[in-house]
Amino acid sequence: MDEEKIYSLSGRTALVTGAARGIGRATAIALAKAGANVAINFQHSLDAAQELSDQIGALGPKSVLLQGDVADSGQVRAMIEKAETELGSISILVNNAGITRDGLLMRMSEEDFDAVIATSLKGAFLCSKAVARGMIKAREGSIINVSSVIALRGNAGQVNYSSAKAGLIGMTKSLARELGARGVRVNAVAPGYVMTDMTAEFPDNMKQQILDNTPLGRLATPEEIASVIVFLASPAAGYITGALIPVDGGLGI
């Protein structure tokens, strides 16, 4: 297989959850640049999702907007049905949707714990379950879970977030064992701190502390995370499954 084909996703359909902003948005664009049609999941940011869809259309591939909550099984089934009706069978799933509800343990409410687990972990379970049958039937597919360096290091005030992201690592390894014989690969990436709307709001002293602990001395761009996700989705990563790839500038060392 020549180099151009080994990285091509032409003719594939990808679903990216939480695609309207940040890593999800960059991933959707990168997948489209590689030739994939993209189903864009979002929950609230309709204008941003529509702008993303227009950008993908300008690149050539097709897209479809899927507004819905990944933590709701009925909404997930409806989204998958719509995506496959308009774009064809999903062969790439990027479980990127996630939220934060930070707070110290003694002040964290059950609602804030449950909300983060529901979106980041249960959402990945529901979406993976919904697409797995089609991937198994086709005997090919790639699921990429977006975890976090915080899953490995922990972080004060983020017991809910770190638990959800650590759970994704266990899910990745279990599904890789379960689905590998059917030709479905399951991998995860663990980003460090990324230049997004959320990190832009960090206090200066917190930003400096992060930079001081990151060997590369800077935050990642969303595109740097997206490029690894697209690699894992491509034929170039055809013998990689059950892997966790840190994309953290060395923060997790």
Q: Which of 7, 161, 193, 239 is the catalytic position?
A: 161
> Average pLDDT, whole number, for the chain?
95
Q: Is the pLDDT of residue 4 over 90?
A: no
The answer to the question of residue 72 being in a domain is: yes
Contact 41, 68 (CB under 8 A): yes
Q: Is the pLDDT of residue 1 over 60?
A: no
The answer to the question of residue 111 being in a domain is: yes
The answer to the question of residue 84 being in a domain is: yes
- Crossing angle of helices 123-138 and 159-179, in 10° steps, is 10
Q: Is the pLDDT of residue 204 over 80?
A: yes
Q: How many CB atoms lie within 10 A of CB 163?
A: 17
Mean of the pLDDT values across residues 162-178? 98
Between 210 and 203, the more confident residue is: 210
Domain containing residue 88: 3-192+225-246
205: confidence class by pLDDT, cuts 50, 70, 90: confident
Which pLDDT score is estimated for 198? 72
Both ends of the chain: CA-CA distance in Å? 35
pLDDT digit string (tens) for 7-58? 999 999 999 999 999 999 999 999 999 999 999 999 999 999 999 999 999 9
Of 76-85, 116-125, 202-211, the poorest mean pLDDT is in 202-211
The answer to the question of residue 203 being in a domain is: no
The answer to the question of residue 137 being in a domain is: yes
Tally the domains of the chain: 1
Contact 116, 160 (CB under 8 A): yes
For residues 193 and 55, give the distance between their C-alpha atoms in angstroms, rounded to a whole number: 26
Q: CA nearest 32: which of 120, 103, 95, 94?
A: 94
Mean of the pLDDT values across residues 128-138? 97
Which pLDDT score is estimated for 2? 61
The answer to the question of residue 197 being in a domain is: no
Contact 115, 45 (CB under 8 A): no
CATH number at 134 reads 3.40.50.720
101: confidence class by pLDDT, cuts 50, 70, 90: very high
Question: Is residue 161 among the annotated active site residues?
Answer: yes
**Residues recorded for the chain:** 253
Q: Is 107 exposed, middle or buried (0-12, 13-18, 19+ CB in 10 A)?
A: exposed
Q: Would you say the pTM of this structure is higher than 0.85? A: yes
For residues 168 and 117, give the distance between their C-alpha atoms in angstroms, rounded to a whole number: 10
The answer to the question of residue 110 being in a domain is: yes
Q: How many CB atoms lie within 10 A of CB 217?
A: 11
Which pLDDT score is estimated for 207? 84
The answer to the question of residue 69 being in a domain is: yes
